[in-house]
């Protein structure tokens, strides 16, 4: 799920106590979710009548990251997928090498798919001013913003935000589990998480939410408000949505101030299990197109994590967002940043 590098930093300042938080949920004993869970009795890779649904493990990865990808695969196969044999789908903006294909397929009994990203899905859009991109990158770099001047990182964020689910290889796939190179999975999971999402009408599953660097998304919330003012029909009423989480000013007021009204809270998308029907829906598609035209994926450093999170917080019923606790995952793992470029 996340890269293990060193002892994790505290998730909040130790002296801050919030009256609505009686205990730290990360220290509570965790259990499997209630209700019917699908086990691995009939999930053999060669069983055409298995209970598997139209889902895949998804990874955007480069050929040179083969060792890190193998490590991630070994962990997830050991803890979960050897029981369920869901296919792996790898994406790259250049063709995968024979070595990459051979070594990754050797890690699993499930099918592996190797897909090339279409040029028009990865390229910088025609309406983006390249001179402004260069100048913006320099300004971000001067502020010591990580990857601010790395064009391929901006392309990756845009692709993960609004392009990946349009790939022809995913046209018949509904659910995905995003897995990146050099991540660790420590907890055995003994039920089909995709079936759980489907049977319980869940749209999005996460393990942790964090604050973002407000300097990277200074115009994201103002652009979001422009969109919602033009399309109020897409915003659920506040009893159903998570707008209060998006606009929170109590816990980190400086974040809200610096991001012009957005708390910067976001689901960490290095781990996400999601239903692509939400991304393919009219509300999200129009929202992404609005943001894409605004240019913030390149002029700032808008990431897929805040973009996904804002859309979920405004356009989706919060009861359809699921926290995968996975036995103290947050404390066991340190969030690791994966870089494309």
Helix axes 151-162, 282-294, angle to 10 degrees: 160
Is residue 186 exposed (0-12), middle (13-18) or buried (19+ Cβ within 10 Å)?
Answer: middle
SS3 262: coil
Structure tokens at 288: 């992404």
Burial letters 191-224, b for 16+ CB under 10 A, else e:
bbbbbbbbeeebbbbbbbeeebbbbbbebbbebb
Look up 272 and say whether it is catalytic.
Answer: yes
Select which of 180, 272, 300, 316 is catalytic.
272
Around Cβ 27, how many Cβ atoms within 10 Å?
Answer: 10
In sequence order, what are the beta bridge partners of 274?
176, 204
Taking Cα atoms as reference points, which of 179, 178, 175 lies closest to residue 199?
Answer: 175
CA distances, 167 to each of 92, 100, 176, 304 (Å): 12, 21, 13, 17
Sign of CA dihedral 98, 101, 105, 106: positive
**Active-site annotation, residues:** 272
């Amino acid at each position: 799920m996340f890269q293990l590098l060193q002892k994790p930093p505290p998730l909040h300042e130790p002296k801050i106590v919030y009256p609505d938080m009686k205990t730290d949920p990360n220290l509570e004993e965790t259990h499997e979710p209630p209700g019917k869970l699908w086990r691995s009795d009939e999930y053999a890779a060669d069983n055409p009548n298995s209970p598997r649904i139209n889902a895949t493990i998804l990874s955007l990865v480069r050929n040179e990251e083969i060792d890190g990808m193998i490590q991630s695969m070994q962990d997830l196969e050991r803890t979960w997928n050897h029981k369920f044999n869901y296919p792996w789908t790898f994406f790259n903006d250049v063709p995968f090498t024979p070595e990459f294909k051979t070594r990754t397929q050797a890690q699993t009994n499930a099918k592996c798919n190797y897909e090339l990203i279409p040029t028009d899905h990865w390229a910088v859009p025609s309406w983006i001013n390249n001179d402004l991109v260069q100048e913006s990158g320099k300004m971000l770099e001067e502020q010591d913003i990580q990857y601010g001047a790395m064009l391929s990182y901006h392309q990756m964020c845009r692709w993960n935000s609004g392009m990946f689910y349009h790939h022809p290889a995913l046209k018949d796939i509904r659910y995905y589990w995003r897995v990146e190179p050099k991540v660790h999975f420590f907890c055995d999971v003994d039920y089909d998480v995709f079936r759980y999402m489907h049977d319980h009408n869940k749209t999005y599953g996460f393990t942790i939410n964090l604050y973002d660097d407000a300097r990277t998304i200074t115009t994201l919330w103002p652009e979001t408000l422009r969109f919602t003012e033009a399309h109020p029909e897409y915003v659920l009423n506040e009893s159903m949505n998570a707008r209060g989480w998006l606009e929170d000013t109590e816990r980190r007021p400086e974040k809200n101030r610096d991001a012009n009204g957005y708390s910067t809270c976001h689901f960490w998308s290095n781990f996400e299990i999601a239903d692509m029907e939400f991304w393919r829906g009219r509300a999200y598609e129009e929202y992404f197109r609005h943001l894409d035209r605004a240019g913030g994926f390149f002029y700032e450093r808008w990431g897929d994590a805040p973009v996904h999170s804002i859309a979920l917080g405004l356009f989706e019923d919060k009861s359809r967002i699921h926290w995968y606790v996975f036995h103290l995952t947050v404390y066991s793992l340190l969030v690791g940043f994966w870089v494309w470029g």
